[in-house]
Amino acid sequence: MASRRAALFRETPTAALHRWVLGTAWALRPKRIANFITTARVMLAHVLQPSRALPDPTTLPADQEIIGIATDLSPDVLMDGYLRGLFPLGHLAPPKWMFPRERAVVRPGDFHISSRLRGMMRKNRYRITFDTDFEGVIAACAEPRRGWLSLTWITPRIMAAYAKLYDQGHVHSFEVWNSDGELAGGGYGVAVGRVFVIESQFFRESNASKIGFAVLAWHLAKWGFVLMDNKWLTPATERAGFKDIPRKDYLAQLPEHWEPPIHPGRWQSEADSKTVAAGPPEPTPAH
């Protein structure tokens, strides 16, 4: 496992230069220049007064989203960050602690599967697994996307940090396998109490990740999770039922106010896509 991670969790000098050039161009776009200024201010404050402590989101301006420098990505600090509604992000080093003004969320039981997608799922063309190939999934999520801004925030440091969380049972992946046994899509996220925070998804075949995402939602509903958090709303997640809520409402629902983490350990699939397409699950007691 260590040798496989070493082989996958890497970035060539050319790829790093490509990321820095595109990341700078992205940060300097007119619509994002305000974030660039905020980042510069946060980084300057960190240089003048270095701190490894997590920022307190409740003491910050209501419109500020970039609130600190993520110097420590150890498992305990990362999980503490998620419990505060924070997460690390950044195309350019170092990672920054993000605290979006709104969060795109849906209750797993309200996850919407379109009629067209249900039809595909009934064909049962793909095999969906959990926690079977986390390394392959996060490496695929880090690959360049389509379009000229093929940026990624999933750097080798990020991959290594989330691999440690995976080893501790906080991070989970879902894999979508085609009939040839190849990884056609997937994604990963962080289980924080009864919330599942989606980090990234990828697909190599059309609709593969959508099918896997729907199967994931079905299982989260069955296991007693109460919220799926996609961080930001996208056209695809909006069609699936996700809606933006103010971050103060999100903070009010954080898992520190609920029961301890549920469904610990490695996850296993309990239903195929055909079963998921047939309807919602019968919830099982938390364990």
Transcribe the chain into DSSP letters: -HHHHHHHS---HHHHHHHHHHHHHHHTSGGGHHHHHHHHHHHHHHHHS---SPP-GGGS-TT--EEEE-----HHHHHHHHHTT-EEE-SSSSPEEE--SEEEEE-GGG----HHHHHHHHTT-SEEEESS-HHHHHHHHTS--SSS-------HHHHHHHHHHHHTTSEEEEEEE-TTS-EEEEEEEEEETTEEEEEEEEESSTTHHHHHHHHHHHHHHHHT--EEEEES--HHHHHTT-EEEEHHHHHHT-GGGSPSP-S-SS----S-HHHHHH-PPPP----
Spatial distance between the Cα atoms of 10 and 17, rounded to a whole number of angstroms: 14
- Mean pLDDT of the region 196-221: 97
Q: How far is CA 73 from CA 52, 65, 146, 156, 250, in A?
A: 10, 19, 29, 12, 23
pLDDT in tens, 221-264: 999 999 999 999 999 999 999 999 998 899 887 766 566 678 88
Whether the pLDDT of residue 286 is over 60: the answer is no
On the question of pLDDT at 52 being above 80, the answer is no
What predicted TM-score, i.e. pTM, was given to this entire model?
0.88
Q: Over the stretch 95-113, which tens digit does the pLDDT of each residue have?
A: 889 899 999 999 999 999 9
pLDDT at 77 over 80: yes
Q: Given this model, what pLDDT does residue 33 score?
A: 67
pLDDT band (50, 70, 90) for residue 148:
very low
> Hunting for tokens 């990234």 — which residue is that?
200
* CA nearest neighbour of 255 among 168, 191, 192: 192
* 245 strand-pairing partners: 103
Q: State the pLDDT at residue 149.
A: 57
Stronger pLDDT, 146 or 208, i.e. the higher one: 208
Cβ atoms of residues 255 and 204 within 8 Å: no
- Residue-wise pLDDT tens digits, 13-30: 887 777 767 766 666 677
Report the chain's C-alpha Rg in angstroms: 19
